[in-house]
């Protein structure tokens, strides 16, 4: 009985049936369209966890149509298309032999995030090399994926190097291999399907643009539907075979529909009016280039074919637009909070509104004793409440101290050091780096020998072709020193961000602290995604104190930030010196990670530690910091534009040799590109 | 666990009922996919996980399969076993305990996912796959102490295979796929940083534990620990009866589990709770239901009651509720019980479960 059931489900994995997936219509449609029309350029599925992203993609495999392939060809060449044959097939043809045809289903190839380069592009077949003493190409994932689908789960976690390889092949439709004594190229036309959770960081713009379609999925909120989801999943978990059997009829219907639509597709026409509409939609969305138009037209045609029509109607275009434009819109109305912003590269939006608003206020120079304005009229209502609570639970730091709410966070541009050739250790995601510790991800191999970290696979492949003329004492492979290859590991190291926050009374004026906290929160959110370590120094009254010693607990930093009271005078120099000490200590402990000191202040120091004037002293402190080259600095000026601008923070930034930003600039998402040589991918 | 010293017995752990409940439920129903135990230092987190190993039931495995495939479940078998079965071979069976496999924080990626078998490559010039930790952990518990300190790229690998219960290896010249259905169990101290949300979601259940505040119980903790340190053998023997009782309970619950039914009312209750409490995605619903069924089985019933839902919802929800950035993992129990009461058939709160400390989750 068991074997009967097995025959019913012939695919290799026993996956949850596509048709049994409740809701998520857009995602399902997007996937099906790709199954019908391979020229749509793949699909990216973004969404919160637990929304059947992976399940749906894997289920799609069972619905894919059959294609004709040349028998025995590792690249699944199409025997009917002479322009795209690999040279094996071509050689076979020119030798006067015929290409044997077989039919098989389009394949979904899994690309795990732990993949190494050799398996992706293919490399030397070492078993063959040992046996026959000749190099032979062993096809990799790209070869298997020709005319199929490459599926990357958690695609935003894929190593950048592998991403480059994928992009290269995807752009040309050909995989060129030049490695380990092998020179080879073969067709590699594949549909890229990726799923990701945006909480874990976003995709590089180049990769994002490769995806023809993109959908955002969310959980279903209708209780009845939720119940149905649970019921079906539970039924599947209890007895997968029966469940699959129960859905086989539905699956069959869909399976037939795909090739039918495929057959209809060439006949589907788009009227000139609708083409105009497509162009108009693209223009409205401010997309870059013309890819969007082309894909939108193709998607609209595919939708029509799926619905059994040969004429595209307006509704098809609208449906297509949603799938095509989602990740390409460049200037949209402020997105709802659920919807992560698409990358906005070329935009420059001067922080006008902000400054206009402020310019008619008084100049910001105010006596320090002046009570800060009531924060009650600050923006988010819920945060106010929280702040109220905070105030009541906190021990009062000084009589006039006030705790301000945290301003709205905003997305922050990448802060990053350049990828460097130095060796570092650490764990985090901000900067990519070569690492000497044996802990990073093994991406490829090198002939350079330095760290006693041999890459055995590469070493074997290097040794294999020479086995014919080597002395082998009872082993199959004799390895000589010249064969040994080492692993190149790559690892993202987090930075150490040290926030030096001015908590003096002047910061309480005009909601500055609210904005400041908002800015820091934004940097913290960014720090979380990059796995940075963070620390916080605050100065007010007469002293500076370390609020948070270096830690990776971003939550802790956030809590402290919320509770940070404001009041008193501005001991700027003390703050700088304290920050310097913290950074120095951290450098002793971890010389590989250069600290990034982020000073948030208006630069108006009015308390000194010694006998000098406060400003002179803070300048001296700044010089000390500048002289330690490993410490990078960034000044966020919170002084408001007014009649009277002191520009003290800017002066300080010059002395520090720091990057300088006005807080408004940060908010306008221009950038927080910190240290010199910022990388930008 | 062939350690030198006998493991501290599970029932001898004082208090920490929630943690124990989370672990027991997983021992009964592996489909709950694990538990994350968050808590300060010295709250018996690791002790409890190790102690659980002694309680784990036996499972039926294919005797000569590295992955310990289930001879009766073709859907979860490795390719080799499946082929043997299809070709008509009778798979050799044996029984062994479910394993607890440690994943040290310092583990390298190749050891986790598996890699090229170097010995075979050198001796025979052949390419073979050498299974890693994920292979060992198939159908067992994968335990990560200090899981929040795990290297980022190892976490990526875990996410990848935990999602589908399959480990796909495409590295170092090997291309291989094998089942990797493991119960992910982790302990962590939140002071040292949080987990990535995606990884957090992979843990079926989650408990927050704190030190015990009742002086009498604290004394008891010290007493038992002392007794154990002084003479582990005797101590373990003293608790043997209790352990055996628990073991039998687990086996009985495991046997009962497939028969446990959840009515539509219960399913709607669960969906309602998930919506009301504001969770991401649908995994919470599934886990809540599985946890409720398992709780019912543990209590020896075939029908899930509202009380079973109440007794397990918190474990499934705490780490899945939508939070503001950096908000603590906290659970509003009042709200949860309110929701359950509101959706269900109004019971008074006095009847809600009483065990467990009254600490903030």
A511 and A620, same domain (yes or no): yes
pLDDT of residue A529: 62
Q: Which of B38, B88, B152 to mutate to test the interface with A (most CBs of A within 10 A)?
A: B152
Specify the fold of B257-351. Helicase, Ruva Protein; domain 3 (1.10.8)
pLDDT above 50 for A211: yes
pLDDT for A41 beyond 90: no
Tokens of B51: 């102690």
A203-207, B120-124, B322-326 — which is least confidently predicted?
Answer: B322-326
Q: Which residues of A touch B281 (CB under 8 A)?
A: 48-51, 219
Q: Is A538 helix (H, G, I), strand (E, B) or coil?
A: strand
A201 in B contact zone (CB under 8 Å):
no
A585: in domain: yes
Give me the pLDDT at residue A491, please: 62
A607 occurs within a structural domain: yes
Mean pLDDT (chain B) is 82
- Can you give chain B as a three-state secondary structure string? CCCCCCCCCHHHCCCCHHHHHHHHHHHHCHHHCCEEEEECCCCCHHHHHHHHHHHCCEEEEECCCCCCCCCCCHHHCCHHHHHHHHCCCCCCEEEEECCEEECCCCCCHHHHHCEECHHHHHHHCCCCEECCHHHHCCCCEEEEECHHHCCHHHHHHHHHHHHHCEEEEEECCEEEEEECCCEEEEEECHHHCCCCHHHHHHCCEEEEECCCCCHHHHHHHHHHHHHHHHCHHHHHHHCHHHHHHHHHHHHHHHHHHHHCECCHHHHHHHHHHHHHHCECCCHHHHHHHHHHHHHHHHCCCCECCHHHHHHHHHHHHCCCECCCCCCCCCCCHHHHHHHHHHHCCCCCHHHCCCCCCCCCC
**What count of CB pairs under 8 Å joins A to B?**
219
Q: How many domains does chain A have?
A: 5
- B 286-345 residues with CB < 8 A to A: 286, 289-290, 320, 325-328
Query: CB count, 10 Å around CB of A469?
Result: 8
pLDDT (average), residues A349-360: 40
Q: Which of A303-307, A336-340, A593-597, B136-140 has the lowest mean pLDDT?
A: A336-340
Domain boundaries, chain B: 15-57+98-209, 257-351
A316 and A440 share a domain? no
Q: Is A380 an 8 Å CB contact of chain B?
A: no
Helix (H) or strand (E) holding A382: helix A381-393
pLDDT at A401: 61
CA distance B171 to chain A (A): 5
Give the closest residue to A484 by CA, choosing from A465, A458, A510. A458
Q: Worst-scoring range by mean pLDDT, A6-10, A47-51, A448-452, B6-10?
A: A6-10
Residue of A nearest to B264 (CA): A227
Per-residue pLDDT tens digits for B223-282:
999 999 999 899 999 999 999 999 999 999 999 999 999 898 899 999 888 888 888 788
Average pLDDT over residues B310-322: 83
Q: Do B125 and A479 touch (CB under 8 A)?
A: no
For domain B15-57+98-209, the CATH superfamily is P-loop containing nucleotide triphosphate hydrolases (3.40.50.300)
Local confidence band at A52 (pLDDT 50, 70, 90 cut-offs): confident
Question: Has A291 been annotated as catalytic?
Answer: yes
Domain final position from A79, A105, A131: A105
- Mind listing the pLDDT tens digit for each residue in B141-171? 899 988 888 877 788 788 778 777 888 888 7
Contact between A141 and B170 using a beta-carbon 8 Å cutoff: yes
**A432 pLDDT above the threshold of 60:** no
Instruction: Please give the mean pLDDT across all residues of chain A.
Output: 75
Question: CA B303, CA B327: separation in Å to the nearest integer?
Answer: 37
Taking chain B, what is the end-to-end CA distance rounded to the nearest angstrom?
32
Q: How confident is the model at residue A410 (pLDDT cuts 50, 70, 90)?
A: low
Residues A97 and A113 placed together within one structural domain of the fold: no
Q: DSSP assignment, residue A599? A: E
pLDDT in tens, A378-397: 344 444 444 444 434 434 34
pLDDT digits (tens, 9 = 90+) for A107-128: 888 888 888 888 888 888 877 7
* Cβ within 8 Å, pair B171-A226: no
For residue B254 the two structure tokens come to: 């495991």
* CATH code of the domain containing A580: 3.40.50.410
Q: Look at A174-188, A385-399, A430-444, B247-261 and tell me which has the smallest mean pLDDT.
A: A385-399
Q: Is A655 inside a domain boundary?
A: yes
Give percent of chain A with pLDDT exceeding 70: 74
Range of the domain at A27: 11-65+106-238
Query: In terms of domains, do A139 and A168 share one?
Result: yes
What residues of A are in contact with residue B264 (Cβ under 8 Å)?
Answer: 227
Q: Is A234 on the interface with B (CB under 8 A)?
A: yes
User: Do A455 and A545 belong to one domain?
Assistant: no
Do A617 and A656 have their domain in common?
A: yes
- A549 and A499 housed in the same domain: yes
- Considering the domain architecture, whether residues A592 and A548 belong to the same structural domain is answered as yes
A163 and A32 fall within a common domain: yes
Q: Which residues of chain A does B271 touch, with a Cβ-Cβ cutoff of 8 Å?
A: 223-224, 226-227, 230
B15-57+98-209 against B257-351: fold identical: no
Domain identity same for A86 and A122: no
Joined together, the tokens standing for residue B148 give 């929040």
Burial of A491 per CB tally in 10 Å (0-12, 13-18, 19+): buried
The pLDDT value given to residue A493: 58
Are A162 and A307 contained in the same domain? no
With a CB-CB cutoff of 8 Å, which residues 256-275 of chain B face chain A?
258, 264, 267-268, 270-272, 274-275
Note the pLDDT of residue A570. 85
User: Do residues A323 and A41 touch, judged by C-beta distance below 8 A?
Assistant: no
Give the Cα separation of B67 and A290 in Å (integer). Answer: 50
A204 domain-assigned: yes
pLDDT, residue A437, reads 53
Q: Mean pLDDT, to the nearest integer, of B106-126? A: 80
Which range is most confident: A7-11, A300-304, A659-663?
A300-304
Answer yes or no: do A185 and A234 share one domain. Answer: yes
């Amino acid at each position: 009985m068991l074997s009967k059931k097995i025959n019913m489900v012939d695919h290799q994995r026993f996956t949850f049936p596509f048709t049994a997936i409740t809701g998520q219509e857009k995602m399902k449609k997007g996937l099906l369209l790709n199954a019908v029309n391979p020229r749509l350029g793949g699909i990216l599925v973004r969404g919160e966890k637990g929304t059947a992203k992976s399940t749906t993609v894997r289920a799609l495999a069972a619905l894919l149509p059959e294609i004709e392939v040349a028998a025995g060809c590792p690249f699944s060449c199409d025997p009917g298309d002479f322009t795209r044959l690999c040279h094996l097939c071509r050689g076979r043809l020119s030798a006067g032999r015929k290409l044997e045809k077989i039919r098989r289903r389009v394949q979904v190839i899994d690309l795990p995030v732990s993949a190494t380069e050799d398996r992706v592009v293919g490399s030397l077949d070492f078993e063959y090399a040992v046996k026959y003493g000749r190099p032979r190409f062993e096809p990799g994932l790209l070869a298997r994926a020709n005319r199929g689908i490459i599926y990357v789960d958690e695609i935003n976690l894929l190593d950048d190097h592998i991403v480059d390889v994928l992009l290269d092949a995807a752009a040309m439709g050909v995989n060129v291999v030049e490695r380990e004594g092998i020179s080879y190229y073969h067709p590699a036309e594949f549909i890229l399907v990726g799923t990701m959770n945006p909480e874990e960081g976003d995709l590089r713009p180049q990769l994002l643009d490769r995806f023809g379609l993109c959908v955002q999925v969310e959980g279903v909120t209708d209780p009845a539907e939720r119940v149905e989801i649970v019921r079906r999943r539970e039924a599947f978990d209890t007895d997968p075979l029966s469940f699959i059997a129960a859905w086989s009829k539905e699956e069959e219907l869909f399976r037939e529909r795909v090739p039918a639509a495929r057959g209809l597709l060439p006949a589907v026409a788009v009227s000139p009016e609708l083409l105009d509409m497509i162009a108009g939609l693209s223009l409205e969305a401010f997309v870059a280039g013309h890819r969007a138009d082309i894909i939108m037209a193709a998607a609209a045609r595919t939708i029509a074919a799926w619905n059994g029509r040969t004429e595209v109607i307006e509704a098809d275009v609208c449906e297509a637009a949603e799938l095509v434009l989602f990740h390409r819109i460049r200037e949209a109305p402020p997105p709802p909070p659920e919807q992560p912003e698409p990358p906005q590269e070329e935009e420059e939006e001067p922080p006008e509104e902000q400054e206009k608003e402020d310019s008619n206020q008084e100049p910001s120079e105010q006596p320090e004793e002046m009570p800060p304005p009531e924060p009650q009229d600050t923006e988010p209502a819920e945060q106010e409440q929280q702040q109220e609570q905070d105030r009541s639970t906190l021990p009062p730091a000084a009589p006039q101290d006030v705790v301000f709410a945290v301003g709205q966070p905003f997305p922050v541009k990448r802060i990053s050091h350049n990828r460097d050739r130095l060796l570092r250790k650490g764990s985090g995601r901000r900067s990519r780096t070569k690492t000497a510790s044996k802990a990073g991800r093994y991406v490829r191999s090198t002939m350079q020998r330095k760290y006693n970290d041999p890459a055995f696979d590469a070493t074997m492949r290097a040794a294999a072709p020479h086995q014919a003329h080597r002395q082998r004492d009872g082993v199959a492979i004799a390895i000589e020193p010249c064969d040994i290859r080492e692993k190149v590991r790559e690892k993202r190291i987090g930075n150490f961000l040290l926030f030096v926050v001015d908590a003096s009374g002047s910061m309480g004026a005009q909601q500055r602290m609210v904005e400041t906290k908002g800015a820091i929160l934004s940097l913290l959110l960014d720090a979380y995604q990059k796995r940075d370590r963070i620390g916080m120094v605050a100065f007010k009254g007469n002293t500076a104190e370390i609020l948070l010693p270096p830690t990776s607990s971003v939550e802790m930093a956030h809590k402290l930030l919320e509770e940070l009271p404001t009041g008193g005078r501005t001991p700027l120099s003390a703050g700088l010196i304290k920050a310097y000490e913290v950074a120095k200590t951290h450098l002793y402990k971890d010389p590989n990670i250069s600290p990034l000191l982020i000073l948030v202040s208006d630069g108006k120091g009015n308390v000194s530690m010694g006998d000098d004037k406060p400003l002179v002293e803070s300048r001296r402190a700044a010089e000390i910091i500048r002289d330690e080259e490993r410490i990078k600095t960034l000044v966020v000026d919170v002084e408001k534009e007014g009649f009277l601008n002191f520009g003290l923070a800017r002066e300080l930034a010059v002395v520090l040799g720091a990057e300088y930003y006005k807080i408004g600039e940060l908010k306008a998402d221009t950038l927080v590109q910190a240290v010199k040589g910022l990388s930008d991918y | 666990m062939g350690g030198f010293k006998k493991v501290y017995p599970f029932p001898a752990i004082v208090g920490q009922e929630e943690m124990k409940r989370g672990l027991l439920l997983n021992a009964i129903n592996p489909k709950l996919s694990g538990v994350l135990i968050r808590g300060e230092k010295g709250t018996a987190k690791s002790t409890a996980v190790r102690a659980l190993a002694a309680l784990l039931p036996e499972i039926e495995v294919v005797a000569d399969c590295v992955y310990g495939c289930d001879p009766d479940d073709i859907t979860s078998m490795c390719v080799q076993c499946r082929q043997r079965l299809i070709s008509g071979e009778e798979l050799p069976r044996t029984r062994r305990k479910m394993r607890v496999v440690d994943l040290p924080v310092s583990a390298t990626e190749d050891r986790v996912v598996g890699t090229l078998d170097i010995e075979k490559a050198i001796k025979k010039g052949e390419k073979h796959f050498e299974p890693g930790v994920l292979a060992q952990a198939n159908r067992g518990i994968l335990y990560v102490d200090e899981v929040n300190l795990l290297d980022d790229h190892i976490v990526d690998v875990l996410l990848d295979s935990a999602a589908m219960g399959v480990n796909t290896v495409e590295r170092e010249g090997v291309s291989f796929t094998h089942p990797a259905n493991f119960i992910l169990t982790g302990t962590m101290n939140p002071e040292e940083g949080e987990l990535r949300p995606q990884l957090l979601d992979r843990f079926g259940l989650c408990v927050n534990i704190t030190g015990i505040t009742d002086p009498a119980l604290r004394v008891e903790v010290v007493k038992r620990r002392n007794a154990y340190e002084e003479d582990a053998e005797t101590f373990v023997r003293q608790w043997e009866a209790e352990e055996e009782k628990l073991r039998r309970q687990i086996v009985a619950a495991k046997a009962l589990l497939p028969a446990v039914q959840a009515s539509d009312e219960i399913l709607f209750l669960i969906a309602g709770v998930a919506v009301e409490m504001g969770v991401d995605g649908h995994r919470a619903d599934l886990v809540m239901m599985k946890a409720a069924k398992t709780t019912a089985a543990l209590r020896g019933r075939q029908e899930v009651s509202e009380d079973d839902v109440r007794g397990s919802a918190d474990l499934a929800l705490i780490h899945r509720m939508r939070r503001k950035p950096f908000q603590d993992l906290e659970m509003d129990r009042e709200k949860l019980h309110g929701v359950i009461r509101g959706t269900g058939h109004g019971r008074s709160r006095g009847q809600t479960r009483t065990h467990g400390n009254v600490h903030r989750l």
